Amino acid sequence: MTTQPTPKGAWKITFLLFLFMLVNFADKIVVGLAGVPIMTELKLEPDQFGTLGSSFFLLFSISAIAVGFIVNRVATRWVLLVLAAIWALAQFPMVGTVGFTTLLICRVILGAGEGPAASVAIHSVYKWFPDEKRGLPTAILSQGSAFGVILAVPSLNWLIVNYSWHYAFGALGVVGLLWVAAWLVLGKEGPLVQTVATGTAEPRIPYSRLLTSRTFVGCCAATFGAYWALSLGLTWFTPFIVKGLGFSQTDAGWISILPWVFGAVIVLLTGWISQVLMARGVCTRNARGVLGSVPLIVGGSIIALLPHVQGVGLQIALLVTGSGLCGSIYVVCPPMLGEFTPVSQRGAVIAIYGAIYTLAGIMAPKVMGSVIQGAAVPLDGYMTGFTINAVILVTSGLLGLLLLWPNTERARLMGEEVTQPKFA
């Protein structure tokens, strides 16, 4: 197989898309960060706040699938521009006095705009890097989510504590518009749209075969568990720190950064280790599939200990470690799908994958809100919710180990004769 060079300008685009994902996750985290002030001002019960958290994902999957097929035909440069503009404009109504219904509608619109974001960004960056060089760029894009939280939480929490949660939404709208302006000037479409092996257009594979392949199913199942944990972190982590463990809003803002800092390290390590293993000839079953699945099992097992230990410091440490380990799967699944999906169909396949696993975002916040509402004391409800999360994580990791075999998927789908690398 001939290795393609990385086109000039690839890392500039990667950095811009990193910022794109940074804004994306800052938008996501703001409701959870301002959860207690929002519940207090709008007089919301836990079940209602859970509904608010879930509303973000109401059109998330539908939008992801629709836009996924659009980017098969429309340049990702323009799609990314429109998506970011929607995010920015959806934030500004919250600057003024709003009720629960307005906030709910704006979160639904924001979710519709953000649903396709990760898959379109990945599809865009893959037009700049050949398959064997995609691990690190994928990890960098994933870091946009972590840094979006790490950088946004202190500044947004300062606005919430010193002014109002309304100003936090307005600040995000301004930042979104700044990214739109930068992308309009600097954004470009990548040149790599042909196969690495032949340099010719790839044949199409029926979507029925792509979407029922065991690796596609395995990616959806494994990432579903990781996204369940992520959705709880976005919506319920800060309220848990304040109402469950008794910290102040100011302290909770700093503590809320910890899972994302740890997760950032895990994601970068995963991307680097994956590329090193592949450079040494290790098959992608191990260099991607196993590498992404095992942390889910370990992370779920750690979170399962949470209700059985004493001391808030240890509880926070377990939650940070267990949820942070889940980030590995986001790094390895898109490249695995890219191994066997023709470029002309990749945008749709990655988008459908994203649409399926993000269904966890609809379910997780609502389930947590319901168990908190029904618990004798809030802390017991939180612990029950985290136990459910642990079971889902372990199950998803086991399914990943069972189903993720990307190194043989392309040969099976396309009938190619391939030479298996060592450790296959």
Residue that is written with structure tokens 């703001």 in the block: 30
Q: How far, in Å, CA of 328 to CA of 144, rounded? A: 14
Say if residues 291 and 328 touch (Cβ distance below 8 Å): yes
Q: How far, in Å, CA of 321 to CA of 298, rounded? A: 10
Angle between helices 100-114 and 76-91 (to 10 degrees): 170
Distances from the Cα of 238 to the Cα of 36, 142, 199, 244, angstroms: 8, 22, 50, 9
Say if residues 240 and 50 touch (Cβ distance below 8 Å): no
Q: How far, in Å, CA of 247 to CA of 37, rounded? A: 14
pLDDT value of residue 4: 64
At 139, the amino acid letter reads A
pLDDT value of residue 418: 39
Closest CA to 352 of 195, 81, 123: 123
Say if residues 204 and 344 touch (Cβ distance below 8 Å): yes
Say if residues 84 and 176 touch (Cβ distance below 8 Å): yes
**DSSP 3-state helix, strand, coil percentages of the chain (rounded to 5)?**
80, 0, 20
pLDDT value of residue 59: 86
Q: How far, in Å, CA of 214 to CA of 270, rounded? A: 22
pLDDT value of residue 196: 38
Q: How far, in Å, CA of 129 to CA of 14, rounded? A: 10
Count other C-beta atoms under 10 Å from residue 416's C-beta.
10
Is this prediction's pTM over 0.85?
no
Say if residues 154 and 253 touch (Cβ distance below 8 Å): yes
Q: Could you tell me the sign of the dihedral formed by the alpha carbons of 90, 91, 92, 98, in that order?
A: positive
Q: Count of residues for the chain?
A: 424
Count other C-beta atoms under 10 Å from residue 292's C-beta.
30
101's tokens: 């219904």
For residue 92, the SS3 value is: helix
Say if residues 21 and 264 touch (Cβ distance below 8 Å): no
Closest CA to 118 of 182, 64, 73, 186: 64
Residue that is written with structure tokens 């997780």 in the block: 364
Say if residues 146 and 24 touch (Cβ distance below 8 Å): no
Q: For the chain, what are the domain ranges?
A: 10-414
pLDDT value of residue 420: 43
> Which tens digits make up the pLDDT trace of 43-91?
988 888 888 888 888 888 888 888 888 887 888 889 999 999 999 999 9
DSSP state of 375: S
* pLDDT tens across the length of the chain (424 residues): 445 677 788 889 999 999 998 888 888 888 888 888 999 899 988 888 888 888 888 888 888 888 888 887 888 889 999 999 999 999 999 888 888 999 999 999 998 998 888 888 988 888 888 877 777 787 788 777 777 778 888 888 899 988 989 999 999 999 999 999 999 999 888 877 644 333 445 678 888 999 999 999 999 999 999 999 988 988 888 899 988 888 988 888 888 888 888 988 898 889 889 988 988 989 999 999 999 999 999 999 999 999 999 999 999 999 999 999 998 998 899 889 988 888 778 878 888 898 899 889 889 999 999 999 889 888 899 999 999 999 999 999 999 999 999 988 877 887 643 344 444 4
* Domain range 10-414, its CATH number among 3.10.129.10, 1.20.1250.20, 3.40.190.10, 3.40.630.10: 1.20.1250.20
